[in-house]
Chain A
Amino acid sequence: MSRRALIPIVTGIPLAMIAIFVVASRWIVPNATRQDIMTGVTSPGTAGHLFGTDQLGRDITQLAIAGAGSAVVGPIVIALGSMMIGIMLGTFAGYMGGWLDLLLSKYADLLLALPTTLVALVVTGLIDGGYWVTVLVLIMLFSPTDIRMVRGSVIAQSGRPYIESAKVLGLGRLRIMFRHILPNVLPVAFSTMLLNVAFALVSMSALSFLGLGVGPGVPDWGRQLSDSRDLLDRNWGSLVLPATLIIITAAAINLLGDWLQERFEERSVQR
Chain B
Amino acid sequence: MNRGLYLSNLVVTGPTGLIVTRMDLRLEPGQTVALVGESGSGKSMTAKAMTGLLPRGVTATGTLQLDDIEVDLALGPQVLTDLRGKHISLLLQNPFTSLSPVHRCGEQITAALAPDLRRSKDEIRRRLDEVDLPERVARQYPFELSGGMRQRVALAASLASNPQILIGDEPTTALDVTTQREMLDLLERIQGERDMALLLITHDLGIARERADRILVMYAGRLVELGEGADVFAHAQHPYTAGLRDSDPPLKHRLVELPAIAGSVPRPSEVAVGCVFAPRCDRADHRCRTDTPELIGTTSQVACWKPITKADTPHLIQIATDVQAQNTGTDLVVVKAVSKRFSPSAPLALDNVDISIRLGEAVGIVGESGSGKTTLARCLIGLESFESGDISWMINAPMAQRAQIVFQDPTSALNPAMTIGASLAEALGVGQRDKSEVPALLQLVGLPAEYARRRPHGLSGGEQQRVAIARAIAPKPKLLICDEPVSSLDVSVQAQILNLMNSIIKELGIALLFITHDLAVVRQVVSRVYVMNNGRVVESGTMENVLLSPQHEYTRQLFSSVAGK
A: residues with CB less than 8 A from B are: 160-162, 164-171, 180, 183-184, 267-268, 270-271
A170 x B413 contact (CB < 8 A): no
Query: Complex formed: what's the CA distance from A229 to B409 in Å?
Result: 62
Kindly provide the distance from the CB of B409 to the nearest chain A CB, expressed in whole angstroms.
Answer: 6
Kindly provide the distance from the CB of B533 to the nearest chain A CB, expressed in whole angstroms.
Answer: 25
Q: A165-B407, A165-B468, A168-B383 are in contact. Are A271 and B416 (CB under 8 A)?
A: yes
B415 x A162 contact (CB < 8 A): yes
Cβ-closest 8 pairs across A and B: A183-B417, A170-B400, A161-B407, A161-B413, A271-B457, A162-B415, A169-B430, A160-B412
B416 x A168 contact (CB < 8 A): no
Tell me whether B427 is interfacial, beta carbon within 8 Å: yes
A162 x B426 contact (CB < 8 A): no
What 0/1 pattern do residues 401 to 442 of B give for CB contact below 8 A with A? 001110101011111111000000011001000000000000
- Of chain B, the residue at the smallest CB distance from A167 is B383
Query: Complex formed: what's the CA distance from A50 to B399 in Å?
Result: 74
What 0/1 pattern do residues 302 to 344 of B give for CB contact below 8 A with A? 0000000000000000000000000000000000000000000
Query: Complex formed: what's the CA distance from A257 to B381 in Å?
Result: 41
User: CB < 8 Å: which of B382, B416, B427 contacts A184?
Assistant: B416
Q: A183-B418, A270-B457 are in contact. Are A170 and B412 (CB under 8 A)?
A: no
Query: Complex formed: what's the CA distance from A170 to B474 in Å?
Result: 13
User: CB < 8 Å: which of B383, B411, B471 contacts A164?
Assistant: B383
- Of chain A, the residue at the smallest CB distance from B409 is A161
Q: A164-B407, A165-B468, A165-B471 are in contact. Are A184 and B400 (CB under 8 A)?
A: no
Q: Which residues of A contact B475 (CB under 8 A)?
A: 169
B411 x A170 contact (CB < 8 A): no
Query: Complex formed: what's the CA distance from A161 to B485 in Å?
Result: 12
Tell me whether B52 is interfacial, beta carbon within 8 Å: no
A162 x B414 contact (CB < 8 A): yes
A-B contact pairs, 7 of them (CB 8 A): A161-B412, A165-B472, A168-B404, A170-B430, A184-B417, A270-B457, A271-B411
User: CB < 8 Å: which of B398, B414, B418, B472 contacts A170?
Assistant: B398
Query: Complex formed: what's the CA distance from A203 to B236 in Å?
Result: 71
Q: Which residues of A contact B382 (CB under 8 A)?
A: 167-168
Query: Complex formed: what's the CA distance from A256 to B154 in Å?
Result: 42
Q: Which residues of B contact A268 (CB under 8 A)?
A: 416
Q: Which residues of B contact A165 (CB under 8 A)?
A: 405, 407, 413, 468, 471-472
Q: Which residues of B contact A271 (CB under 8 A)?
A: 411-412, 416, 456-457
Q: Which residues of B contact A270 (CB under 8 A)?
A: 457
Query: Complex formed: what's the CA distance from A183 to B456 in Å?
Result: 14
User: CB < 8 Å: which of B413, B418, B426, B457 contacts A171?
Assistant: B426
User: CB < 8 Å: which of A160, A169, A180, A267 contacts B400?
Assistant: A169
- Of chain A, the residue at the smallest CB distance from B427 is A169
Of A164, A168, A268, A271, most buried by chain B (CB within 10 Å of CB) is A168
Query: Complex formed: what's the CA distance from A59 to B363 in Å?
Result: 83
Query: Complex formed: what's the CA distance from A180 to B409 in Å?
Result: 18
- Of chain B, the residue at the smallest CB distance from A163 is B415
Query: Complex formed: what's the CA distance from A232 to B403 in Å?
Result: 76
Query: Complex formed: what's the CA distance from A160 to B413 in Å?
Result: 7
B430 x A184 contact (CB < 8 A): no
Q: Which residues of A contact B471 (CB under 8 A)?
A: 165, 169
Of B398, B405, B415, B471, most buried by chain A (CB within 10 Å of CB) is B415
CB neighbors of A among B154-170 (8 A): none
Query: Complex formed: what's the CA distance from A169 to B381 in Å?
Result: 10
A168 x B400 contact (CB < 8 A): yes
Q: A161-B407, A169-B475, A170-B430 are in contact. Are A180 and B456 (CB under 8 A)?
A: no
Kindly provide the distance from the CB of B234 to the nearest chain A CB, expressed in whole angstroms.
Answer: 39
Q: Which residues of B contact A161 (CB under 8 A)?
A: 407, 409, 412-413
Query: Complex formed: what's the CA distance from A184 to B468 in Å?
Result: 18
Query: Complex formed: what's the CA distance from A160 to B427 in Å?
Result: 17
A180 x B415 contact (CB < 8 A): yes
Query: Complex formed: what's the CA distance from A270 to B413 in Å?
Result: 15
User: CB < 8 Å: which of A168, A170, A184, A267 contacts B415?
Assistant: A184
Kindly provide the distance from the CB of A69 to the nearest chain B CB, expressed in whole angstroms.
Answer: 35
- Of chain A, the residue at the smallest CB distance from B398 is A170
Q: Which residues of A contact B426 (CB under 8 A)?
A: 169, 171
Kindly provide the distance from the CB of B227 to the nearest chain A CB, expressed in whole angstroms.
Answer: 36
Q: Which residues of B contact A167 (CB under 8 A)?
A: 382-383
Q: Which residues of B contact A180 (CB under 8 A)?
A: 415, 417-418
Kindly provide the distance from the CB of A3 to the nearest chain B CB, expressed in whole angstroms.
Answer: 14
What 0/1 pattern do residues 449 to 483 of B give for CB contact below 8 A with A? 00000001100000000001001100100000000
Kindly provide the distance from the CB of A259 to the nearest chain B CB, expressed in whole angstroms.
Answer: 18
